[in-house]
Each structure stands twice: as C-alpha cells, then as structure tokens.
Chain A
Amino acid sequence: MCNAHVRAPNRILEMTMVTNVSPSAVDIEQLRDNVKSKYSDVATNPEEGFHFHTGRPLAAMLSYTAEDLEGLPESAIESFAGTGNPFSWGRLRPGEVVVDIGSGAGFDSLQAARHVGPGGRVIGVDMTQAMVDKAIEGAKDMGLANAEFRLGYAEALPVEDGSADVVISNGVINLTPDKMSPMKEIYRVLKPGGRIQIADIVVHIEVPQEAKDDIDLWSG
C-alpha cells in the first residue's frame, strides 16, 4: 500500500544530513548501478529533462554568478545537478588542495581549480565513468593542469590520508545509504584543521523505513 511518503521521489529519500541518519537496507551495489545509470544520462543527455533541475537554471537558483560560470565549458554547466553552492562559505584559497566528492562533469571542480590556481590542486572523484570523462575533457578545454578526476566512491575515496585542505561536495552524499561512511572518509582525507564546504539535502519530515528500503525510490 502506498502513501504520500512512500511515493517520495529519489533524492528525497534518506537525505537527513543533519538529523535522522538511520541506514537503509538497500543493496549498495544495486543502488550504485541505478545511480550510475541515472547520472550517465545526466552526463550524456542533459537536455532530456529529469525530476530535479539541472544546468544554468539550477546554477542561477543556487546563486552562482555569471562571473562564476564565465569560461566554464558548456559540457560542465549543462550536466550540473547540485543542491547548493559550496562556495557560499567562501572562495577557496590559492595553493589549497581540494577534493570534490561526486564531481560530476566538473562544474564545481573547475571553478575550484581556478580559485586555488596553479599552485593548488583539485581531485574530483565520481563513480560514473561518463561524468569523469566529461570532467577530464572540460579541464583540457580550459587548459587547467591542476584538476584531475578519479573514478571512485564517496565511501572509499581514492585519496591519501590527511592530504586535503578542503573537501567540497554538492548533492551527492544523499545518494549514499549510510551517511556516516562518507563522513568518515572526508575526515580521513582532510588535513588537521581542514574544512568541509558541502551542499546537500535536508528533509524535515522523516522518511518511513519502508521507503528508505525501496531501491526504486532512490534512483527511479
């Protein structure tokens, strides 16, 4: 039997970043496959239309300025699917090492690479090959040698311990069934005194466990 809660769309499930973080019982590998499929579509057919906003309209909604977007490749902008603006906490500093979890087509990573300059470095991590490929091309288009992109998971970042000054992420951690796992990874890769500037989703009405455990509601 369905109710309004069980009909919750994906990306609204178990996004309680701040409050309730009870893990879901979904099969993590199946969930990853479903999410990869969805975000491969966002990478390769961004004009298709999704249940969440994307691209320039979303960037404007999240207070990215025209200056922020100037010079970014259209390939990075069109596949943007974030939920906030990590740079609202401040521009990143020259020389900093940045890890971007769920870097997608590079929308935030490429901006971060401009912030930190040639003396800094950005490591984008994404589990969707199509997104990683697109981000690498975007960095090439911009002539950025300080941005690299790696295939990997938020729960097992392919990044050395204590190597990052700042971790950014935008609308990604909500897609992991156990939120503590990526948080522990973020803590691991940060240097002492390092910071997080992340954007994600919060729900104020608890999602029923039966909905959390229904994988079709995560990535449908």
Chain B
Amino acid sequence: MLDNAGFVDVRMGEQVDVFSGSVHESSAKNFETFGLTIFGRKPGG
C-alpha cells in the first residue's frame, strides 16, 4: 500500500502486542493483531 502511494525506502519496525492485557486481548489474538511502526520517504529532495 505504501509503495502504491509512492513512498520509497519503506521499513517496518518491531511488532508489539498492544492489546495484551486489554479487554479484547483474546479477540486481538484471533486476528494476530499487533502494533507496529512504519518508516517511509517521499522521493526527491
């Protein structure tokens, strides 16, 4: 998706189990849901 939007040098950070211990922890696990960080750059400059 980020590539399709035109970004380059796209990188993903570590995934974090952000729903661990929350009300919907089990549902989150059903979908293997994680928080993560993303870096990307607009070409040029």
Which residues of chain A have a CB within 8 Å of any CB of chain B? 4-5, 7-9, 12, 15, 17-18, 21, 49-53, 58, 61-62, 82-86, 88-89, 171, 179-180, 183-184, 186-187, 190-205, 207
Contact = CB atoms under 8 A, between A and B. Distances in A.
Chain B contact surface mostly = loop
Contact of A18 (B1, B21, B30): B1
22 contacts: A9-B24, A12-B24, A12-B28, A12-B33, A18-B12, A18-B38, A51-B23, A53-B21, A83-B18, A84-B36, A88-B37, A89-B13, A89-B37, A183-B2, A190-B42, A193-B44, A194-B45, A195-B42, A198-B37, A201-B34, A202-B35, A207-B31
A84 B7 contact: no
A52 B22 contact: yes
Contacts of B28: 9, 12
Interface of B: 1-2, 4-7, 12-13, 15-16, 18-24, 27-28, 30-45
The listed residue with most B CB atoms (<10 A of its CB), out of A4, A21, A83, A205, is A83
B6 to A, nearest CB: 5
A205 B45 contact: no
A195 B20 CA distance: 30
Contacts of A191: 42, 45
Contact of B37 (A50, A61, A86): A86
Contact of B35 (A49, A89, A200): A200
The listed residue with most B CB atoms (<10 A of its CB), out of A4, A18, A191, is A18
Contacts of A5: 30-31
B21 to A, nearest CB: 7
B37 A17 contact: no
* A-B complex: 8 closest residue pairs judged by Cβ atoms: A193-B45, A192-B44, A83-B35, A204-B32, A9-B24, A183-B5, A51-B23, A192-B45
Nearest to A83: B35
Contacts of B20: 61
